[in-house]
Amino acid sequence: MAGNHFGKLFTITTFGESHGIAIGGVVDGCPPGLEISEADLQTDLDRRKPGTSRYTTARREADEVKILSGVFEGKTTGTSIGLLIENTDQRSKDYSKIKDIFRPGHADYTYQQKYGLRDYRGGGRSSARETAIRVAAGAIAKKYLKDRLGIEIHGYLSQLGPIELAAKDLSIVNDNPFFCADAAKLDELDAYMRELKKTGDSIGAKVSVRASAVPVGLGEPVFDRLDADIAHAMMGINAVKGVEIGDGFAVVNQKGSEHRDAMTPRGFKSNRSGGVLGGISSGQDIVAHLALKPTSSISVPGESVDIHGHSAEVVTKGRHDPCVGIRAVPIAEAMLALVLMDHFLRHRGQNADVSSPTPVLPASD
Amino acid sequence: MAGNHFGKLFTITTFGESHGIAIGGVVDGCPPGLEISEADLQTDLDRRKPGTSRYTTARREADEVKILSGVFEGKTTGTSIGLLIENTDQRSKDYSKIKDIFRPGHADYTYQQKYGLRDYRGGGRSSARETAIRVAAGAIAKKYLKDRLGIEIHGYLSQLGPIELAAKDLSIVNDNPFFCADAAKLDELDAYMRELKKTGDSIGAKVSVRASAVPVGLGEPVFDRLDADIAHAMMGINAVKGVEIGDGFAVVNQKGSEHRDAMTPRGFKSNRSGGVLGGISSGQDIVAHLALKPTSSISVPGESVDIHGHSAEVVTKGRHDPCVGIRAVPIAEAMLALVLMDHFLRHRGQNADVSSPTPVLPASD
Amino acid sequence: MAGNHFGKLFTITTFGESHGIAIGGVVDGCPPGLEISEADLQTDLDRRKPGTSRYTTARREADEVKILSGVFEGKTTGTSIGLLIENTDQRSKDYSKIKDIFRPGHADYTYQQKYGLRDYRGGGRSSARETAIRVAAGAIAKKYLKDRLGIEIHGYLSQLGPIELAAKDLSIVNDNPFFCADAAKLDELDAYMRELKKTGDSIGAKVSVRASAVPVGLGEPVFDRLDADIAHAMMGINAVKGVEIGDGFAVVNQKGSEHRDAMTPRGFKSNRSGGVLGGISSGQDIVAHLALKPTSSISVPGESVDIHGHSAEVVTKGRHDPCVGIRAVPIAEAMLALVLMDHFLRHRGQNADVSSPTPVLPASD
Amino acid sequence: MAGNHFGKLFTITTFGESHGIAIGGVVDGCPPGLEISEADLQTDLDRRKPGTSRYTTARREADEVKILSGVFEGKTTGTSIGLLIENTDQRSKDYSKIKDIFRPGHADYTYQQKYGLRDYRGGGRSSARETAIRVAAGAIAKKYLKDRLGIEIHGYLSQLGPIELAAKDLSIVNDNPFFCADAAKLDELDAYMRELKKTGDSIGAKVSVRASAVPVGLGEPVFDRLDADIAHAMMGINAVKGVEIGDGFAVVNQKGSEHRDAMTPRGFKSNRSGGVLGGISSGQDIVAHLALKPTSSISVPGESVDIHGHSAEVVTKGRHDPCVGIRAVPIAEAMLALVLMDHFLRHRGQNADVSSPTPVLPASD
């Protein structure tokens, strides 16, 4: 209940601080018999890890994950899976300057007030470093979803500052440092980021993620709707300030006749709903969008206070991402995988004896 | 886990269908000693209930709530509170036409596929009728938050189709049928709705909700962040397709120097974060926005299929709201109250012995 | 979390006080398509209800249960099931004498201290009246277990004070007021109870319950072992002070060579383990025993204090069971059904794709 | 939900197999500001660890625990605490003989049936090795309970086979290899165990545990009663087959006039209830007893089957405890500490604003 636990049947519990000894977690509820190896997890970890391009922080972390339990002779045993990533790049730097100052836009102030003390080194538990374990756990869920159900999950950057990016070709997403699916925009992105870096400032971003081949029926109304749990998962990613399912905020100015996705014997004719009706997956692609704020760790001076309530100026000199949204792509994929995996098991637990699971409509989209 | 349960320490579990005998629920975890009566709950229920204006469905429900337990001599006892609302307006109508047809944009198809059968009368469990119990439970949370902590929660309609509505005067929200805080726009809203009704169509809406005087420290990172739980609660309301905290999707095109809320000895200078930093309340107003889709229950004919997969035309003749977003205002308030109440108890459970709960910064906004 | 919620996938949440308007609950997670009616629940409620014999309290309650939701056209829909039993026999008696006195051996003192106030009428929430809803919910679980899995659950009185009762013939359990399976002991029981009643005292009891045809594999190590969850369920019944699985406390003086149940190609040769190995069901009968204390509500005067800490004498004149253990038989059956149902769904959720669910050993015992 | 998670507000999630790389866990919900070090945890780990006396297994494990997170500058931060113990004594032995055979009385058969495969090395996840992490987590809870609330928890061996052991002097428990509080019986125990070892057999045991200075009010009726949660915790310890609170099974033959603990202005006159009334702590000592079965890993040949259902003889040649009950003493203490800690936080969360927490009665016993 203290917040470091996610999921109901397929669960993950995480620990670890930015500059501590290690980060880690426990995946509980993975069905037995899944073929899995550390290499399967490393692929996504490498996509998220820092230091891979000029657009991300220069901090270098190998992010090598170890599976400590729950896998035997290459297969999951159905027992809990221990995951561990040692922190290697913990520069022994001088924190005396920042330990008494609250960086604006960060969790320094709220952690200090909530807990009465805080690990001020690199943000401690509030650092996005913690998300590496989510990515590792998500990779296990992804593998199950793909191997057993054929579900594929793809994320991409859909906007960076003013630059909108279309989902033109998801196959190129992993070939460029922006997770961009819009090849024609790559030069513009590069130019924008170079210019931004000169100013010492940062920029927000929009990330999109979709899952295909999701079976009809996942989601538990009325509170644990599939979309509600996706919103919970996505808003729980560092820096996220908005979540949309399907058409999202565009529905505010849509008519009912325009919004409702028509159904035909050949399937749905559109997917404005984003694959969820009444909180339950419809068999269409699940589509979600996330708004990520610009990081507050910038070299532009900022107005703040210290722990005594006195004025203080903050300038971040450290190694930070000018656009934290970019690296959120594999994290968003991981969280969607965790939600789908959890709901698949929950649905199967309650409804496995439903007589005709064959969908009336063919999958579409 | 089957989805009809919400919260961790302050919880609600609900039941009931649109055209069943009754709807009800159990509030568990309410602190003892709170003065509460059925009248306290009825106020918000009356704000949500149908049939109160020409802009909402003509279905008439008294929505009279009974408290069956957990309150003794006018005060909560700390034990579970049973709530019951009988359904009075269950017109015995002929459902033979719709029982085999999936209304597009509704949960008919997904419920049928998930469960293998469904209560087709008026949407059954997927009907928004169920939210009446959330409103009743939320009223208990609201009362505690206000009486004990001084927290006030206010919702309002911030957009209806193309008409944007400012939060000019929250004191007028309950005096007009739109929950509108922008007096100058009331005529425009009325004209728009009259025109819409003629076409038999429906329209989307945006609802905003804010909580003031929230103490610093509520929210449990990393997964049960306050904003993540608000997103879960809001996306779990019928018809919601998007949730924003603070500046929401506007952050995508904000610079870090622009977004981060400066801190001064007199408090924060802005509230772009919406009152949450690192998943924990900052002492500023909590601000959330919701996008609600237009209802699919309209008299404009729609293309669909029946349970055998054959083409079918759907025309809804029933009593439905042309803009379901309007009545979502008290529901959004209730859900925010439930989340804050739950997090207050969770925070107090884990952190009550933190030595200095006095915030460094004065409350601002 | 406040304690009125039970189970993980098949859950029950209850409310209601001894002398309030009604008691009720919500069953969530019942698979869809189960044929169920109020009559199915009433059978077990009638077995538990007071006033049926001279050996139980004279309080008369019809204990008529209403199903308010979740069942449509005679079948469960997969949505939450609302249950309600109105309290009919709430004699408007004068509570002024007992409201300020703590009855020894009861929850009066602990409720008052925990909550700062209490509903003192008939024990309020701490009354065993609350268990009626558990019995109703358990009847739903029982029906599913029997209809779909062939599991049968039988409880019986195995000791009353000094009189030990063998499990000679479970078919007679419902034909005598003691739930006794040992016909030869019925007269002795009757004589003992008549004598006891004269003294105004009460007596403890031991209740046993067993489930047959339980599939191998139910239970989730390491904490939610099947036996651990059974212990939780049974110790949560009013007046229970001890729980045993299989040989229970007799194992303290057993040798390993004597205790371990030998396995042969024709099945297990004994069932000292009570059907659970390593926290997982073995396919043998699940066997549990409960120790129930004698009620403290007796007409023998007792030493106590009032809410001001002053000495007070307590004499209970009300209508109470001289042996509360007797009526615990259907309650223990219900709780075992709830645990098995929950674990069946949890197991199916996580392990439904295990390739060979056929047990190596034939069911035995 | 998959079973490796314990608690609601103060939680522990564990992982690890007997012969894997490491065992570990995550403690979530520990209040901030608690002074804790690895040495505090090591004390209890050393009490539990194997190889310390001739009466326990000869397997040698350093059982050195590492705290990986959640503690900063010697104090807990309120974030999750990662714990890790590397397995050092993993003799690379030949498992080919046992991998296809089900040891009777063990979890081999049930794990294989539940999961379709299993880690057969030393029992894998079903090994009691896993309890080392419970002991480490329990040590954190114990420290909080003692430092902040003055609660002390003491376990001892109360019976070994036929030898009953009184709680004469708890101060000597850690000075003898039996955790025995009855000095006069030490020679008899030694003689019994020497004789037992010659036969290659094993013996059951009874362990008792008590907590003193527990405040009135802990426990959440009706399902999460304090005694119900203690029963869950204790029955979840390997080899436990019975749990008693207070007088336990002796209540079966007690009269109400004899059982109820009289209350006087100077406190309770007895503690037959074991410190729990109506599921809530009464301020008296919490008293629980556990029955532990004899291990089935003995050198006496046993009858069993292999994974193909064919007859097989099993003889355990490994390093095993002739009485596993002895080492359960620190485990039972740890589990009681975890339950009390969890309930303290839950109670505080819901009831911190109860006006008069001062108990009417002075603590007694």
pLDDT digits (tens, 9 = 90+) for A296-351: 989 999 999 999 999 999 988 766 789 999 999 999 999 999 999 999 999 999 99
B176 token code pair: 């007009």
Q: Where are the domains of chain A?
A: 5-351
Q: How would you class C73 by CB atoms within 10 Å of its CB: exposed for 0-12, middle for 13-18, buried for 19 or more? A: exposed
- pLDDT, position A318: 67
**B26, B86, B341: which to substitute to probe chain C, counting the most C Cβ within 10 Å?**
B26
Q: Of B31, B221, B346, which has the smallest distance from its Cβ to D353's Cβ?
A: B31
Binding positions of C for FMN: 125-127, 238-239, 278, 293-297, 319
Q: Which residues of D touch B79 (CB under 8 A)?
A: 221
Work out how many CB contacts closer than 8 A connect B with C.
Answer: 174
- pLDDT, position D365: 46
Q: Of C110, C204, C235, which has the smallest distance from its Cβ to D281's Cβ?
A: C110
pLDDT digits (tens, 9 = 90+) for D115-173: 999 999 988 999 999 999 999 999 999 999 999 999 999 999 999 999 999 999 999 99
Residue C356 has pLDDT above 60, yes or no: no
Q: Which residues of C touch A350 (CB under 8 A)?
A: 9, 29-31, 78, 345, 349
Using CA atoms, how far apart are residues D274 and C241, in angstroms rounded to an integer? 9
Residue B232: name the closest of A6, A133, C80, A216 by CA.
A6
CB neighbour list of residue C195: distance below 8 Å, 6 or more residues apart: none
Q: Do C32 and B75 touch (CB under 8 A)?
A: no
Rounded to 10°, the helix B38-48/B328-351 angle is: 140
CB neighbour list of residue D194: distance below 8 Å, 6 or more residues apart: none
CB neighbour list of residue D354: distance below 8 Å, 6 or more residues apart: B31, B32, B33, C114, C115, C116
Residue D255 has pLDDT above 60, yes or no: yes
Percent of chain A surpassing pLDDT 70 = 94
pLDDT digits (tens, 9 = 90+) for B109-159: 999 999 999 999 988 999 999 999 999 999 999 999 999 999 999 999 999
Q: Do A241 and B225 touch (CB under 8 A)?
A: no
Checking phi first, is residue D246 left (phi over 0); if not, alpha (psi -120 to 50) or beta?
Answer: left
Question: pLDDT category, B58, cuts 50, 70, 90?
Answer: low
Asked whether residue B238 is marked as a ligand-binding residue, the answer is: yes
pLDDT digits (tens, 9 = 90+) for B199-237: 999 999 999 999 999 999 999 999 999 999 999 999 999
Residue C84: name the closest of B48, B1, B20 by CA.
B20
| DSSP 8-state secondary structure symbol assigned to residue B265 | T
pLDDT digits (tens, 9 = 90+) for D163-202: 999 999 999 999 999 999 999 999 999 999 999 999 999 9
> How far does the CA of residue C90 sit from the closest CA of chain D (Å)?
21
D210 token code pair: 């008590």
Residue D34 has pLDDT above 90, yes or no: yes
Q: Of D79, D348, D354, which has the smallest distance from its Cβ to B33's Cβ?
A: D354
> How far does the CA of residue D73 sit from the closest CA of chain C (Å)?
32
DSSP per residue, A21-66 = SEEEEEEE-PPTT-B--HHHHHHHHHHH-TTSSTTS--------EE
- pLDDT, position A55: 72
Residue A56 has pLDDT above 50, yes or no: yes
Asked whether residue B311 is marked as a ligand-binding residue, the answer is: no
**C4, C134, C163, C243: which to substitute to probe chain D, counting the most D Cβ within 10 Å?**
C243
- pLDDT, position D351: 92
CATH architecture of the domain A5-351 equals: 4-Layer Sandwich (3.60)
Residue B90 has pLDDT above 70, yes or no: no
For residues C205-215, average pLDDT? 97
- Chain D residue with CA closest to B343: the answer is D349
C32 token code pair: 């869809």
Q: Do A282 and B109 touch (CB under 8 A)?
A: yes
> How far does the CA of residue D20 sit from the closest CA of chain A (Å)?
6
Using CA atoms, how far apart are residues D24 and D8, in angstroms rounded to an integer? 19
Q: Do B28 and C16 touch (CB under 8 A)?
A: no
Q: Of A69, A77, A114, which has the smallest distance from its Cβ to D78's Cβ?
A: A114
Please answer whether residues C247 and C298 qualify as being in contact, where contact means their C-beta atoms are separated by less than 8 angstroms.
Answer: no
- pLDDT, position D88: 87
Q: Do B351 and D221 touch (CB under 8 A)?
A: no
**A293, A338, A350: which to substitute to probe chain B, counting the most B Cβ within 10 Å?**
A293
Q: Do B79 and D221 touch (CB under 8 A)?
A: yes
What's the Cα-to-Cα distance from C3 to each of B333, C85, D146, D282, D298, rounded to whole Å?
A: 26, 20, 25, 17, 42
Residue C365 has pLDDT above 60, yes or no: no
Using CA atoms, how far apart are residues D316 and D339, in angstroms rounded to an integer? 35
Distance of CA A155 to the CA centre of its chain: 9
Residue D348: name the closest of C96, B354, B186 by CA.
B354
For residues B181-199, average pLDDT? 96
Q: Count the neighbouring beta carbons within 10 Å of the beta carbon of residue B92.
A: 7
Neighbours of chain D (3+ CB pairs under 8 A): A, B, C
Residue A258 has pLDDT above 50, yes or no: yes
Please answer whether residues C182 and D236 qualify as being in contact, where contact means their C-beta atoms are separated by less than 8 angstroms.
Answer: no
Q: Which residues of C touch A78 (CB under 8 A)?
A: 350-351
Question: pLDDT category, B302, cuts 50, 70, 90?
Answer: very high
- Chain B residue with CA closest to C66: the answer is B21
Q: Which residues of B touch D354 (CB under 8 A)?
A: 31-33
Residue B83: name the closest of B116, B125, B36, B31 by CA.
B36
pLDDT digits (tens, 9 = 90+) for C243-280: 999 999 999 999 999 999 999 999 999 999 999 999 99
For residues C168-175, average pLDDT? 96
DSSP per residue, C126-192 = GSGGGHHHHHHHHHHHHHHHHHHH--EEEEEEEEETTEE---S-GGGGGGSTT-BS-GGGHHHHHHH
Please answer whether residues C22 and B68 qualify as being in contact, where contact means their C-beta atoms are separated by less than 8 angstroms.
Answer: yes
What does pLDDT average to over chain D?
93
Q: Do C360 and D295 touch (CB under 8 A)?
A: no
Please answer whether residues C285 and C214 qualify as being in contact, where contact means their C-beta atoms are separated by less than 8 angstroms.
Answer: yes
- Chain A residue with CA closest to B101: the answer is A263
Q: Do D351 and B78 touch (CB under 8 A)?
A: yes
Q: Count the neighbouring beta carbons within 10 Å of the beta carbon of residue C95.
A: 13
Torsion on CA atoms A146, A147, A150, A156, rounded to nearest 10? 20
- pLDDT, position A365: 45
Length of chain B: 365
> How far does the CA of residue A204 sit from the closest CA of chain D (Å)?
28
- CA torsion sign for C330, C335, C340, C341 is positive
DSSP per residue, B287-305 = EEEEEEPPPS--SS-EEEE
Q: Of C219, C242, C257, which has the smallest distance from its Cβ to D244's Cβ?
A: C242
- pLDDT, position D316: 80
Using CA atoms, how far apart are residues C58 and C48, in angstroms rounded to an integer? 13
Q: Do C351 and A1 touch (CB under 8 A)?
A: no
- pLDDT, position D1: 61
What's the Cα-to-Cα distance from D179 to each of C269, D141, D167, D169, D245, rounded to whole Å?
A: 35, 21, 11, 11, 20
CB neighbour list of residue C278: distance below 8 Å, 6 or more residues apart: C221, C225, D106, D107, D110, D111, D126, D238
Q: Of A8, A253, A291, which has the smallest distance from its Cβ to B162's Cβ?
A: A253
Q: Of C79, C148, C346, which has the smallest distance from its Cβ to A349's Cβ?
A: C346
Please answer whether residues C103 and C81 qualify as being in contact, where contact means their C-beta atoms are separated by less than 8 angstroms.
Answer: no
In the block, tokens 């007096």 appear at B183
Q: Do C68 and B15 touch (CB under 8 A)?
A: yes
Neighbours of chain C (3+ CB pairs under 8 A): A, B, D
- Chain B residue with CA closest to C119: the answer is B72
> How far does the CA of residue B151 sit from the closest CA of chain D (Å)?
16
What's the Cα-to-Cα distance from D362 to each of C112, D264, D268, rounded to whole Å?
A: 15, 10, 9
Please answer whether residues C77 and B118 qualify as being in contact, where contact means their C-beta atoms are separated by less than 8 angstroms.
Answer: yes
Using CA atoms, how far apart are residues B141 and B10, in angstroms rounded to an integer? 9
ipTM attached to this prediction:
0.97
| DSSP 8-state secondary structure symbol assigned to residue A203 | B
Contacts 24+ apart (CB under 8 A), C316-322: C316/C103, C318/C122, C319/C50, C319/C57, C319/C58, C319/C59, C320/C57, C320/C202, C320/C295, C321/C50, C321/C55, C321/C56, C321/C57, C321/C202, C321/C295, C322/C55, C322/C193, C322/C196, C322/C197, C322/C201, C322/C202, C322/C203, C322/C295
- pLDDT, position A97: 77
What does pLDDT average to over chain C?
93
B150: three-class secondary structure by DSSP: coil
pLDDT digits (tens, 9 = 90+) for C54-95: 776 666 778 999 999 999 999 999 999 999 999 987 665 667
Give the global pTM: 0.97
Fold of B94-351: Chorismate synthase, AroC fold (3.60.150)
- pLDDT, position C352: 87
